[in-house]
Amino acid sequence: MKTHKAPAGKATESPVIEVLNKARSAELAAITQYMAQHYGLDDADYGQVAAQLKLIAIDEMRHAELFAERVYELHGLPATEPDLKAVKGQKVQEVPGFDACLEIKAIADYNAFMQLCLQHRDGQSAKLFETIIAEEQAHLTYFENVRDHIQDLGAAYLAQIAGGPAEAGAPAQGFVASQGKPAA
């Protein structure tokens, strides 16, 4: 951990710090959403999907940390509140489409935020967004695949993914790392 301190009192605000904090708030919301779904789907006996949601939430935790660290390096104060409340009680059929929409929004926002960072000559923050966009794209692909399987195969696919605890064989690293892709 770095040993420098953010300035006392009100943090210096800049457009880059503002978008980094918006991204951090979105990541905090994704964490609470995906963990709520993880517990709900595990309880509904969809442990296989629940386990993947937990791994994706772990990726989002790492993203939130990376955004906070960058804000801190720029002498700002990291955001602490999610930008949305978690939607609870979703059925397994609703989850992947809902989550795909969250990832699509994140990718669009982060692309715009990356451009803003480049306009303000902050290549390091732009690179951070670029790296995280690639990971959000991996999440989106997963959610779209599950959504499409549910739509195309219906009950047969749901029966295939039912059963088993959410913790069975789930590695401690996040979804992207478990797929053999380098983490940010």
User: What structural domains does the chain harbor?
Assistant: 15-177 (1.20.1260.10)
- Dump pLDDT digits (tens) for 124-133: 999 999 999 9
Over range 141-160, report the average pLDDT. 95
Over range 74-101, report the average pLDDT. 97
pLDDT tops 80 at residue 170: no
For residues 67 and 28, what is the distance between their CA atoms, to the nearest angstrom? Answer: 11
DSSP designation for 13: P
What number of other Cβ atoms are within 10 A of residue 177's Cβ? 17
pLDDT of residue 175: 78
pLDDT tops 80 at residue 28: yes
C-beta of residue 75 within 8 angstroms of C-beta of residue 7:
yes
pLDDT tops 80 at residue 116: yes
In 3D, which of 143, 132, 85 has the Cα closest to residue 107? Answer: 132
pLDDT tops 90 at residue 177: no
pLDDT tops 70 at residue 182: no
pLDDT of residue 111: 99
Over range 110-117, report the average pLDDT. 99
pLDDT tops 70 at residue 3: no
| Radius of gyration, CA atoms only, the chain | 17
pLDDT tops 90 at residue 75: yes
pLDDT of residue 10: 44
Q: What percentage of the chain has pLDDT greater than the value 70?
A: 88
pLDDT of residue 167: 65
pLDDT tops 90 at residue 105: yes
